Amino acid sequence: MKSGEIRYYLDETLQIPVSVVEHSRLANVELANYSHLILVDGDYGQLSDGNISQLKHWLKQGGTVFAQKRAAKWLAKEDILFVNFIDKKQIDNLFDSQQLSYQDKKKLSARKRIAGAIFATTLDTSHPLAFGYANNTLPLFRNSTLMMNTGPQSFVTVASYNSEPLLSGYADKNLVNLLAYNAALVAHNYGKGRVIATTDVLAFRGYWLGSAKLLANSLFFADTFSATIK
């Protein structure tokens, strides 16, 4: 489903041909033949140093990479995406477990999850990646506790969570408060290329079309913005 929903949106909704490449085949792919690389949510830790160097070189030459969820976190780890991620320890520190008994363990674990809920974001409608949006309030679907923070960088955040972001579904108030004001979609330069990343599921199950347009705009308008990391 992680790749299927994006493939369905591009292939069936937008009718854009998509090449599907497994991790094991990446080293044999000539990235220069492609303008965009979409990294769906998943574990990219098995990619070699050679794969990473290949990706960085391609980006510096003008490629565009779009990364979702754990793929975005991997890009940050490899110094390709310049944002900070809130780690598991920071989330654990929000919950006091000292007075809990063993029978409360599962309940505590559930409180530390976001299994699927809708959150309100504020969209910078002046940004090229927000082309076609008239309203700056955009609901996003998320099903993880991955959270990005851009720090003091200017012009990098395309969408950020509202002060009281939970619109529908369940999420513990500690997580909701932690999510507030953090980035939902970021985009910046990398050499001549562009890096675009989100912690949300923009094309959720092929029908969440409101935010899926951001994915489409990442394909068509990536070269029209410039946000240099300082």
CATH number of the domain to which 201 belongs: 3.40.50.880
The span from the CA of 80 to the CA of 55, in Å, is: 9
Q: Is residue 160 part of a domain?
A: yes
Separation of alpha carbons 67 and 40, rounded Å: 6
Virtual CA dihedral for 20, 24, 29, 34, nearest 10 degrees?
Answer: 40
Task: Provide the strand spans (E) within the chain.
Answer: 36-39, 64-68, 84-85, 117-123, 137-142, 148-149, 157-168, 183-190, 193-198
Q: What is the pTM of this model?
A: 0.91
Q: Is residue 214 part of a domain?
A: yes
* Beta carbons of 31 and 37 less than 8 angstroms apart: yes
Number of structural domains, the chain? 1
Asked whether residue 229 is assigned to any structural domain, the reply reads no
Q: Judge whether 230 lies within some domain.
A: no
83 is a domain residue: yes
- The per-residue pLDDT string of the chain (230 residues; one tens digit each, 9 = 90 and over) reads 467 888 888 878 888 888 888 877 777 788 888 899 999 998 888 888 988 999 999 999 999 999 999 999 999 999 999 999 988 888 888 888 778 888 888 888 888 888 889 999 999 999 999 999 999 999 999 999 999 988 888 999 999 999 999 999 999 999 999 999 999 999 999 999 999 999 998 887 767 778 889 999 999 999 999 999 87
Report the DSSP beta bridge partners of residue 189. 194
Question: In sequence order, which residues have a C-beta less than 8 Å from that of residue 133 and are 6 or more positions away?
Answer: 123, 125, 213
**Cα separation values, 205 from 4, 25, 52, 142, Å:** 8, 26, 29, 12
Structural domain boundaries enclosing 219: 4-224
